[in-house]
Structure 1
Amino acid sequence: MNFIKYLVLHVKKYLNGFLHLVYPKICLHCGSTDIIKFQVLCPNCYVQLPFTDFFEIENNNVDKIFWGRLPLGPSGAALFFTKNSIVQLLLFELKYKQNKRAGWLLGNMIGWALKKANRFNEIDCLIP
């Protein structure tokens, strides 16, 4: 039985290597092959993402947009958006190319930010 597990493990390893030759996992932004499993950006591009602290700051810029328009509870944004940036590329991949890994990355970032911030402990619903 151990031999079969050993054989399956090695076959998987070689098949993954072959698939990487045919369909390499590359960074969406810079094209590097230094990708961590299930990610779409290499560590260098991930570090360049323009994160905000809006989930932890009361009366942040997102809150101010809705002042006098809508009675909203706490609001926030995970990243600053600028044209021709990594953030625009991630949103384009998610919206138009249905890239699930890009959506997973963005959702994971927002989820961790919400979990860390105490302002969102008693909200009724999330509006993306």
Structure 2
Amino acid sequence: MQSLVRDFVNLLYPETCSGCDISLSAGEETLCTRCRMLLPVAYHDLIQNDKMRELFYARIPILHLTSLLYYEKIGTVQRLIHALKYQKQEHIGTFMGEWLGSLLATDPRFAEVDLVVAVPVHSKRLRERGYNQVTKFGQCIADGLGVRFRESVLTKNRNTIKQAQLDQRHRSDETQSPYAIAEEIAENQHVLLVDDVVTTGTTLTLCARELLKIKGTRISMATMGISV
């Protein structure tokens, strides 16, 4: 019955591609086949180069880092992230999380992850948006790895200006962190910290520093996109 209702609704209001707005065909979800094939996938490329690791050099000890896609200010990836964050399209987080989760499940670098933790958003922004844009992404990655996901380990106690709106000089300010531990986790765990887009690495660095205050914690990171 539910499938019949869904089919009827899709007939009246067909789902459209989040990349180009054309109607999706049977078997397509979130993106049409063309848009998905044209996505600038970063995952395999980042295994061979140190582009992401360079962001954290001499700032914080990291075991493994990866990102699913390359992010540019104009293009399909930008549209996806914008729709996820500002247009209530939370299913995009699921789409990216399931995709990256399936890749990480066969990647020996992430075989010993114990816990997936989300970068938090400030409570005001959470009320406005209705959800943390990283939650579904993190849940799906945790499912792929067969480990627990914790959304509320970290809290953001100051509503900062978006990193994308700051120049390089202000982005690099790491002296006053708005992040703190809100829920304790066990010691000696390999934590996979997840976020949407890594630009300068400041947000992830500050969050990782809080987690590293817990004895024996090791940090790896995964994001939907890495800015180019």
Of residues 103, 108, 128, the one that matches 1:118 is 108
- Unaligned stretches of 5+ in structure 1? 1-7
Larger Rg: 1
CA contact 1:29–1:89 (8 Å) conserved in 2: yes
Question: How far 1:25 sits from its partner (Å)?
Answer: 0.6
Do structure 1's residue 30 and structure 2's residue 20 form an aligned pair?
Answer: yes
Alpha-carbon separation, structure 1, partners of 2:6 and 2:110:
41
Length-normalised TM-score, structure 1: 0.77
Deviates more, 1:21-30 or 1:60-69: 21-30
Give the match for residue 86 of structure 2: 96
Alpha-carbon separation, structure 2, partners of 1:67 and 1:88:
26
Question: How far 1:20 sits from its partner (Å)?
Answer: 2.2
- Unaligned stretches of 5+ in structure 2? 114-189, 195-228
Question: How far 1:120 sits from its partner (Å)?
Answer: 1.2
Do structure 1's residue 51 and structure 2's residue 44 form an aligned pair?
Answer: no
Q: Runs in 1 of length 4+ with deviation above 6 angstroms?
A: none
Alpha-carbon separation, structure 1, partners of 2:16 and 2:63:
39
- Which letter maps to 2:61? P
The alpha-carbon distance between structure 1 residues 91 and 36, as it changes in their structure 2 partners (threshold 3 A), is farther
Tell me the matched-pair count: 117
State how 1:58-97 maps to structure 2 within 5 Å.
Answer: 60-97=50-87
RMSD, aligned α-carbons? 2.3
Question: How far 1:77 sits from its partner (Å)?
Answer: 0.8
CA contact 1:27–1:35 (8 Å) conserved in 2: no
Alpha-carbon separation, structure 2, partners of 1:38 and 1:47:
12
Alpha-carbon separation, structure 2, partners of 1:46 and 1:122:
30
Identity of aligned residues (%): 27
* Partner SS, residue 65 of structure 2: coil
CA contact 1:26–1:33 (8 Å) conserved in 2: yes
Deviates more, 1:17-26 or 1:76-85: 17-26
Deviates more, 1:110-119 or 1:42-51: 110-119
Deviates more, 1:106-115 or 1:58-67: 58-67
- Which letter maps to 1:96? Y
Alpha-carbon separation, structure 1, partners of 2:20 and 2:97:
22
The alpha-carbon distance between structure 1 residues 117 and 17, as it changes in their structure 2 partners (threshold 3 A), is closer
- Which letter maps to 1:127? L
Alpha-carbon separation, structure 1, partners of 2:9 and 2:91:
18
* Partner SS, residue 78 of structure 1: strand
The alpha-carbon distance between structure 1 residues 30 and 69, as it changes in their structure 2 partners (threshold 3 A), is same
Name the structure where strand makes up a greater proportion of residues.
Answer: 2
- Which letter maps to 2:88? Q
Alpha-carbon separation, structure 2, partners of 1:105 and 1:36:
16
